[in-house]
Structures are given as C-alpha cells and as structure tokens.
Structure 1
Amino acid sequence: MSLRTRIGQFLAFIGRSLIWSLHLGVFFYTLLIYYLIGRLPAEHWLASMIMITLPVAWLMLVLLGLFWLFTRPWRSTLSVIGLLLGYWLYPRTFAVHASQADAHRTGAFSLLSYNVSVFGLEKYYDDTLHREPRGTRLMSNWILAHQAPVKCFQEFFVGKEMPAFQMSDRLERAGYRYKALLHPKEAEYIGVATFSRFPIINHGEHVFSSFNGMVWTDIQIGQDTIRVINVHLQSMGIRVRKVFQEDKMSGVKAETRSVLEALKFGFKSRQGEVRVVEACIAESPYPVIVTGDFNETPYSVVYERLRRILPNAFEDAGHGFGFTLNRAPRTIRIDNQFYDPRFEVLDFQVHRDQPYSDHFPVEGRYVLK
C-alpha cells in the first residue's frame, strides 16, 4: 500500500470521525429541545432561543442520515431514532385534514384574523405624490368582501389620508356594527381591533406596548355567548434579510447582534404577556377563542403554554405547513387560533393568495358542540 493511499485513508477516517461527532452532537441537541418543549423546565430567553431551532436540528438529522446511508448505513439509524422521538411535535408542523362536508352546517361561524401591517402606510408616505398603494386598495377590498362575521386585526390603522385608511367606517357600513379597539379614544389609531356583525355585549383591552396588546370581546351569537381574545404579542422586530444585504463583515456582525438582541427582548416580553392572556381565558364565563399574531413559532414557551390550555385550530383542521409570515424567513407559522374544547373546529385556512401584508390572513370555522 502506497504512502499516498495510507494518507488518504487516514484523512477519510478523520473526516468520518468529525462528521460522526457532529451527528452525535446534533442528536443530543435535538433531545434537549424535546425536553425543553415537553417539560418547560426553564422559561429563560436562552431556552426559547434553543427551542425555535428545532426545524434546523431536524434538517441536520436528515442530511447526516442521508450521508451515512451511502457510507455507513447503520449510523443513519441515529437520525431515524432522533426523528421518531419527535413524533409528538409533527402535528404542529404539518397538518393533513380534508375540509369537512358539513363545514357550513347550522350554527357554524367563521373568524378571520389578519395582521394588516398598517395597510401599507409606509408605501403611501414613500410615494412623493402620496397616491393610494395598489396593494392597500386590494387588501381593503378583500377584507370588506370577505364574509366572516367576526374579524380580528393586528396593526390595524385608522387615518384620514385616503379612503383605504378609513377602514373602521367602511367596515361599519359593510355590516360590522360592533367593534372593540385597543386604543378606543385615539382619533388616528394603530393597534389591535375586533369587528363583529354579532352584538358585542362586553369588552376590554390590555396594552402591552404601543400597538401590541390584547382586546377581548364577549360576542352574542344567537342564544349563545362566546369570548374572542384578539392578541398581538411583542413583535420580533427583526429583519433577517438585512444580515445578508450587508457587504462587510462588520456590518454582518452588527446586524446579527441586533437580531439576537431583538429576539432576546421579544422572548422575555412575550413570556410575561402570555400570562395576561392565560388570566383572561381563566376568567371567561364563556367558551373562548384566542386568535392573533403571537410572534412565536410552534416550538416556543408561549405556544406550548397556550396549547396546554386550548387546542390549536391548525393542528386539528389545517392543511400543509400553514406558514403565515410573508417575509424572510417565511417558513414559520406565528399567526394562530386556539379554541375552547366546547367548540368543534370545522376548517382552518391560511389565505396565501393575499400577499399585500407581511402576514397572511388566517381563518377558522367553528360551531359550538
């Protein structure tokens, strides 16, 4: 055997050893995430940071498993074991449900939730002529035409700049006579808003920060009353695309540090805010639906805490991955609806055909059992 062959074999051995060490590390890291999500032993922001990386860990297990499949097949079983142990998290990742034939049965109603991103206000001011953005007009027309009797909005804006920004009046003329706002006394309004064709017999609000907050409404539907909790938890405040747009390493480091700081602040804020939501659920004398922009993925403290109280509509009646973010990184679901077990969820949709906000609208259809 030549010296070159021996050196090649030695380097190949070192390479395989390093990859196997990486594989073991990813495997135990994935088990740590399962433990953090399943038991919630710590709600520290660092634990939250680890939990949201689960899809990356899964992807690494798949790629490493495929690598060993063609070199050392028995080692690929480590990936299989790691993926199988996470089976209980698959329903919150991918849903396979056919629309029910009785989705329009008597007593059923739809609830639409939409982060409208202030109806494209920044585009209006970016235009030197201050013309109505096409996306704003299409978004507002779609909202008015949609037939859901209860509509919940986040980053809802009311202004006098143009008709598309006068959505509160337009919704009222369209039959949504009842409403509740996060800042009801402000003339120009940005925040959480709920509109209903059914009577709102009681309501309340809780401000988290600026336009982030919670509006709860007790809505009378026929002989029944339900509580709808419309929330917008602390925003992530990050723009991943900015990191990749930087030309210099110093700029990349600065943007990355900014993203991590925003994530840390967001995790800490939302873990306090979710307790306010939990208290509102516990105090409700009526069946509850919690909807809105949670700014948390399905592998998070907030999602897990709410899921332990209420089922998730996407998991029980959704389709596909259900991604709701319409900007980078896109492949996440942060808009949700959780519902009281006294309801039956008939269908849940993400309206990905409405690309005019940085979120897609979500809609659940329910009936009281």
Structure 2
Amino acid sequence: MKLQIGRLVTFFFRSLFWSLNLLLALYTLLAYWLLYSLSIEHWSASMIMISIPVAWVFNFICIVLWLFVRPWRSWLSGLVLIVGIVLFGSRTFVWHSIEKLTDSSIPLKVFSYNVQSFGLDSDWERSHSSPRVRRLVNYVLRYEAPVKCFQEFYNSTSIDDYDVVRHFQESGYRHSVLLNPEAANQPSGMVGVAIFSIYPIVHGDRESFDRWNGLVWADIKVGHDTVRVINVHLQSMGIRVGKVLRQGQLAGVKHETRGVLSALRSGFIERREQVARVERHIRESPHPVIVTGDHNDTPYSVVYERMRRILPNSFEEAGRGFGFTYNRLPGFIRIDHQFHDPSLSMLNFETINYIKYSDHYPIVGTYRVNNKPRK
C-alpha cells in the first residue's frame, strides 16, 4: 500500500512539473513571437519581452531536472533554448576581435556615460569639494575620446572642481550641445544630456522629454565627412531591486514591489513614445548617424527592437561578452546602447565595467569614418 501511494505521489508531482514545463515553454515562445514580430507594443507585451532571460534560466533548470528523472522530456526546454539562441543570441553574448584601421579612414571614438550627477547626492558634497566626485570628473576629462556623451550631467560654477563644462572647454572640447544650457552658468544645475566634441560641431539641437530626460544631437565635422551623433536619455526603468530586498517585513516588500511594477509600466509607455521621436531625428538626418546613451531598456524590448530595425547595434557588431552596463542590482542587464549607420563600420566596442563611480558603466564605440567628401 505504501509503495502504491508513493508511486501515486511521484506520478502526481511529475505530471504537475511536466504541465508547468509545458506552460513555461508556451510562455517563452510567446515572448519570442512578441519580440520577433513586434506586432503588439502594449506595456503588458513589453513586460513579457523583458522576461526572456528569466524564462531561459527556468528552462535550463527544467533541462537539468528532467535529465535526472525522465531524460527524454528535457528536449522540450532544450528546443526552446535553441530557438532563443538562434533568434536572439547575438544580442545576448558576442565575442568579436578588435579591428585595425588599414586605410586612410579616421577612427571616431564615441564615449558615453551616465554619470549619475557625478555622485552629488548629498547637500554636503554639493557645497564642498569631494574626493569621490573629483575622481569621477578627472576620469571623464582624461579619457581619450574626441566625442563624449553624458546623461545626468551636473555642473556647478560655485565650486571650481564641479565646473565641469568649463573644464571640458579648457581641455580642448570647445564644442558642445547641452539639453539645459542655462544650467551650465548657474551655481548649481542639472544639465541632463550633453555632447562634448574636439571636432567642430557645425549644427546641433536639443529636444526635452521632461526636466532631465531628452536628447541632444550634433552634426560633427570629422575630416571631410560629417557624422550626426544623437545622445539620448529615455525614461527610467524604475529598477529598485535593492530597495525591495532590504525590506524586513512582507508588507514593505509588497509595497516596494508594487512601486517597481508601476514604474516599469509607466516607463514602457513613456519610452515607446520617446523612441518614436528619436526615430524621427534619424530619418531627418542628412548625415550618417550614431545613436548613443542611456536607453533604459534591455535588448529584449520594444525600444531596442525598433532601434535595431533602423540601425545595427554596436555591441552586437563589435562587443565582447555580455556587455552588462548597470552597476546595481540586478546587475545582469544591458540598458546603455549605441547604434550606428551601416556606412560607419565598427572597429571596436567596449563596456568599461571596471569603472564603478556611477550606477552605470561607460560604453565606448570606435567607428571608421570615411575621409573622402560625400556627394
């Protein structure tokens, strides 16, 4: 009798696990279809799309568990993972070697960094020169790149160390486009999105989404060619995983979780509208375009897929590894991106994940710019 009961219990849980495995496979395939077809851009569809990496992890767990119980059943999640690798592998993990310049073209290095207001998150640091802030300012000033793009850029004329716009001008970056240029002349102000260039900027403009989010673009003269660099900072994802985990009570966890989900929902809606404005600037550009910045969306999102259908992604073309760019929990996400015109072939793309001054890592793309006049 005990043997039969044990067999029934085993059969029940095995059948339940198989049913859950089937549902997981269907859910993952639905996420594939939504991202591949992009036929539905509702925020709920976006929520399913960004869960693809999590679904992969659960499918892998199913494969491992079935190998110990019913090996033949591991084929289901195995096939689901293989389909995912075929469709989305290049946006997840790549490994490219650095290309060398062998002709008369000009290498254009575009540095992009969300500096998180240079870490000025306390009243004391805003009114006193902080060694932590000075280290970050010195890093972005000394990094060798002719074009530097920033998000959450802060400037203060009241403290010499924080007058970053002036320091850039003195360092040779005499050309710039700022989202809030008036903030560069105030004792304390958030510039937001900014482009600094050693090369001449023949034309530039800005478009604000809200107080600090928005885009700036600059037509930069590089040799005989002109390249339009568009620096964007889209609506925040509202990621506060660390704050959720720090809650000591269930009520606090529930409250913070609801806050995260609400922020994700509103972020999906806002970014979908904002990326349409970025697309307009790309279409209207008479020059080859490089789009960089903090897109606040993963490679499994509406924003990324829409951008990817217009311009190749620089990480996919010349990156190495996973390229995670977020320096906070959950940590394993890539939300800072560069996209480029196909005529600007890639030489290298790097995520500088050992620079941890901010909650983002810097990203750097190096492009081959033709040194012959365009017709």
Structure 1 and Structure 2 fold alike (TM over 0.5): yes
**Structure 2 counterpart of 1:5, from 3, 6, 9:** 3
What is residue 40 of structure 1 aligned with on the other side?
38
What is residue 116 of structure 2 aligned with on the other side?
117
Q: What value does the CA root-mean-square deviation take over the aligned residues?
A: 1.5
Compute the displacement of 1:237 (Å): 2.6
How many angstroms apart in 2 are the aligned matches of 1:110 and 1:93?
23
Contact kept in structure 2, 1:43 and 1:301, CA below 8 Å: yes
Amino acid at match of 2:130: P
How many angstroms apart in 2 are the aligned matches of 1:54 and 1:246?
27
Aligned length: 365
How many angstroms apart in 1 are the aligned matches of 2:20 and 2:275?
36
Contact kept in structure 1, 2:351 and 2:364, CA below 8 Å: yes
Contact kept in structure 2, 1:113 and 1:292, CA below 8 Å: yes
Amino acid at match of 1:169: R
- The Cα offsets for residues 119-150 of structure 1, whole Å up to 9 and x where unpaired, read as 01114x256x9543333211111111111000
1:269 aligns to 2:267 (yes or no):
no
Contact kept in structure 2, 1:103 and 1:365, CA below 8 Å: no
How many angstroms apart in 2 are the aligned matches of 1:167 and 1:103?
36
How many angstroms apart in 2 are the aligned matches of 1:295 and 1:104?
36
Amino acid at match of 1:177: R
Q: Structure 1 residues 258, 105: closer, same or farther in 2, change over 3 A? A: farther
Aligned-partner SS, 1:75: helix
- The Cα offsets for residues 172-229 of structure 1, whole Å up to 9 and x where unpaired, read as 1110000000012333233000000000010111100110000011000111101000
Percent identity of equivalent pairs: 48
Contact kept in structure 1, 2:245 and 2:253, CA below 8 Å: yes
Compute the displacement of 1:298 (Å): 0.2
TM-score (norm 1): 0.96
TM-score (norm 2): 0.94
Aligned-partner SS, 1:356: coil
1:180 aligns to 2:180 (yes or no):
no
Contact kept in structure 2, 1:214 and 1:232, CA below 8 Å: yes
User: Deviation above 6 Å: which 4+ runs of structure 1?
Assistant: none
How many angstroms apart in 2 are the aligned matches of 1:101 and 1:340?
19
What is residue 216 of structure 2 aligned with on the other side?
215
Compute the displacement of 1:161 (Å): 4.6
Amino acid at match of 2:53: P
What is residue 330 of structure 2 aligned with on the other side?
329
1:155 aligns to 2:156 (yes or no):
no
How many angstroms apart in 1 are the aligned matches of 2:99 and 2:3?
64
Aligned-partner SS, 1:84: helix
How many angstroms apart in 1 are the aligned matches of 2:102 and 2:271?
34
Contact kept in structure 1, 2:291 and 2:338, CA below 8 Å: yes
- The answer for unaligned runs of 5 or more in structure 2 is 371-375
Contact kept in structure 2, 1:201 and 1:219, CA below 8 Å: yes
1:157-172 map, 5 Å: 157-172=154-169
Contact kept in structure 2, 1:120 and 1:133, CA below 8 Å: no
